[in-house]
Structure 1
């Protein structure tokens, strides 16, 4: 017998209005669902129920969609490099520091577990994870209960930073082709997984680390499979200048010239387009091109804001007709905090409180994410859609007093108010704790992994610096 859950007399439901293609508030009524999908949203449900829960002082909303994140070693780097960067590379820390903390193969399971646990606790029900292939990726993603899009990255060049000021590329085209073949095989395995909640994504890692023919072939293979393609592009000024040197084009122009852009493509970050104030261009054609090609952008403001850079602006992209969804990229892997930062950065960049509203950012984290993935059955609460939903406790102190519950959640409470999370009607987070994975155990393991990786940092730094020199602590350490 199928188990049916009913949440009775819900205080607030964020429901999908099909006529307006928008999210709306509904007060009162039931939310009923099973593993096949949503059976009732906002009406009275009179059918049989296996489990009945009270909706008093609760908000039920669609699960959030994280369109761009990285497990791999990212969760282990927390608290190390937030105050550093390479001055000659516009302050970006990624090129010089991202490969210094290496937990090795033994760290992959713990990093993935912590990332998924953090994301689900913040209301994420769908996650697009870009990482390296490892033996536990499929199993842990399935055990977590998340709806997972797994994107094994591949590239033909590694970044090499000389003397903390010059970025070069070490090319191995054959190795990149081999990685491409393995990535396609893994993506096919993800799609065939018996859970039915996993899929593959074709992911050439960065626009500047792949030759043009590999980018074209990747797009072709994704389209043959009906899969999404995601690529980091227009993410840093170093990349922007490198593409100008090679091609005379911006990343958007280059990908468009190659025929890569399309409604099945998600560009990671897409910050430094031709209208950005840091670039040499003074045209405004890139956003028009993205909108015309129906290409989506994965906006991950937190990690870039840490380096002093921002997309200009999310409101402007939306007004240009570009489908912009939200990702977390790296830690803190918190969708609600990411949404808040996206809202603040957009208003700062646009110099106006009116540049973006709370409703706009919620739409980006739900409906826009679903559009990016080509889906009309997630990111919304409507009868027949997937039962991916979040229960928010309106009595949480950080939510009170409640005038507008979504504003209280995004601007104040964040994950502290998330009580339960369901994916395909199954409980994946209960009272703030993931149900399908050993989240607490992975957190304990992470400290030992970080200590070990920090002790080995000099082995991966071209200049042989130890961790104390690479990442000085926030305050002086004194003895006694």
Structure 2
């Protein structure tokens, strides 16, 4: 393979699995004014599916190919529910299982489900509504999916439970979800400790912090995967660490929202289990490692912690350990043959003396050349058999524009698209 790093595949515990509308928020805030929260009149009208089954199937396959392209060999997908009628469906995830198996990606799959959502009232007030019946129905559908699809396609497809954000749940339903995960032997991922709104909602609803509440209801365990951990205090992180749960570190998407884990070095030394996630475009684990290193040093005020090896370990061993998979995240006898070859000879990398430090200093996901998953060569020299990146990119762009065109319908006061997402500079024509 020449001048290359040959290492274990990356494990993405919060893997982008759609055409990411989250990038629209980079310069367009606050989100509740930009179609990221449903207005009251849209809720009363009846939310609709803004993507067809064919579009949902395409975006999973498109995203899965890009995960492989970036050296991710095990993925736990995440997609936005903002443009869904309510939950993801078992049918679309049955299709996703087929796409993953065809491409050769190792996945943990389960339709996301929720018991509540945010609403913007006519006067601009932000509220949370809970629909416990819908939450129970979503959990039941997820249980049925797990029964039908866990450990299929030669073990390449496993199941998980994916309840939506912590502020959209009742204690009884979250407790039941954790119990089901234990009984089925599957992971359960819950986005939490990720926003000021969440912190205020949980305290208003339950009189305590998010980590404390989840501990009190018995949700936390070694099966729990918790993106993002940026909005809690040291006591909350200690509670999570003591439970054996894993915080899923997604530094890129959180840095875009002005937040960072506080802080990587101390938390690892305190025994907190950490894994990595991409969560947004680009699904570039190397970029997330780079940002994680820089933010870790800035937040900790330390010149040498975290190290490049620390981030590499979390992107490989951290995810494997979070899943209780000693056969993943490492190259050794008895491990699955998930192998990634990263080119270190390219001139844009500059001079490379230590391969791990060189990776974290200068490389990116486009430097991944060849990927093996479970011993199968799924990508060679940037090419995935049966997948045309140029054709898929064009189709994804058209699908993205169709979705953006629907934003006024579900945006507060229904402004035109040009008002929701104005250009960075005024466009003039002569």
TM-score (norm 1): 0.81
* Cα drift, residue 442 of structure 1: 2.2
Match of 1:124 in 2: 72
Match of 1:310 in 2: 260
Cα distance in 2 for partners of 1:101, 1:470 equals 21
Match of 2:242 in 1: 292
Q: Structure 1 or 2: larger helix share?
A: 2
Match of 1:48 in 2: none
Cα distance in 1 for partners of 2:396, 2:129 equals 31
Q: 1:178 aligns with which of 108, 120, 137?
A: 137
Match of 1:60 in 2: 6
**3-state SS in 2 of match to 1:479:** coil
Match of 1:249 in 2: 208
Deviations 1:244-276 (A, max 9, x none): 1111211111110011111111112122112xx
* Cα drift, residue 157 of structure 1: 0.7
* Cα drift, residue 433 of structure 1: 2.4
* Cα drift, residue 159 of structure 1: 1.4
Q: 1:367 aligns with which of 313, 317, 324?
A: 317
TM alignment of 1:69-468, pairs within 5 A: 69-72=15-18, 75-77=19-21, 79-86=23-30, 94-95=36-37, 102-131=50-79, 132-133=88-89, 134=92, 136-162=95-121, 165-274=124-233, 284-435=234-385, 437-468=387-418
Distance 1:433 1:466, change over 3 A: farther
> Which blocks of at least 5 consecutive residues in structure 2 are unaligned?
40-46, 80-87
* Cα drift, residue 393 of structure 1: 2.0
Distance 1:470 1:104, change over 3 A: farther
**3-state SS in 2 of match to 1:442:** helix
Count, aligned residues = 412
Deviations 1:141-182 (A, max 9, x none): 111211101132111112112368532123222122111111
Distance 1:94 1:251, change over 3 A: farther
Distance 1:398 1:151, change over 3 A: farther
Deviations 1:340-374 (A, max 9, x none): 11111111212222231100000110111101111
**3-state SS in 2 of match to 1:477:** coil
Distance 1:200 1:443, change over 3 A: same
**3-state SS in 2 of match to 1:149:** strand
CA RMSD of aligned residues (A): 2.3
TM-score (norm 2): 0.90
Deviations 1:377-408 (A, max 9, x none): 00001111000011122222223422111222
Q: Is the 8 A contact 2:100 2:107 kept in 1?
A: yes
Cα distance in 2 for partners of 1:100, 1:179 equals 17
> Which blocks of at least 5 consecutive residues in structure 1 are unaligned?
1-54, 275-283
Task: Report the structure number with the largest CA radius of gyration.
Answer: 1
* Cα drift, residue 413 of structure 1: 1.8
Cα distance in 1 for partners of 2:164, 2:11 equals 21
Q: Is the 8 A contact 1:421 1:429 kept in 2?
A: yes
Q: Is the 8 A contact 1:140 1:437 kept in 2?
A: no
Distance 1:297 1:80, change over 3 A: same
Q: Is the 8 A contact 1:65 1:366 kept in 2?
A: yes
Q: Is the 8 A contact 1:126 1:148 kept in 2?
A: yes
